Amino acid sequence: DAVYRRLEDAGVPIAREIVDNPWGDRAFGIDDPNGVRVWLYQVTDPAYKAALI
């Protein structure tokens, strides 16, 4: 959430609002200067996080 707020405060357009996904992460999207969508996410479910390691 801190990165989201920092980008928003800096005037970066948010392409996809922050959302809690049912598969265990929290994510939002921005578009880079070339129009490429960049997703930023954080794993929120400990079971999902353990499966990634």
Q: Residue 12 and residue 38: Cα distance in Å, rounded?
A: 12
Please tell me the total count of domains within the chain.
1
Tokens of 24: 């265990």
Tokens of 20: 């809690």
Tokens of 53: 């390691």
**Does residue 49 surpass a pLDDT of 70?**
no
Q: Give the CATH number for residue 11.
A: 3.10.180.10
| Unique residue bearing structure tokens 């989201």 | 4
pTM of the model: 0.78
How large is the average pLDDT for residues 12-21? Answer: 96
Q: Residue 15 and residue 38: Cα distance in Å, rounded?
A: 9
How large is the average pLDDT for residues 4-17? Answer: 97
**Structural domain of residue 44, as residue ranges?**
2-52
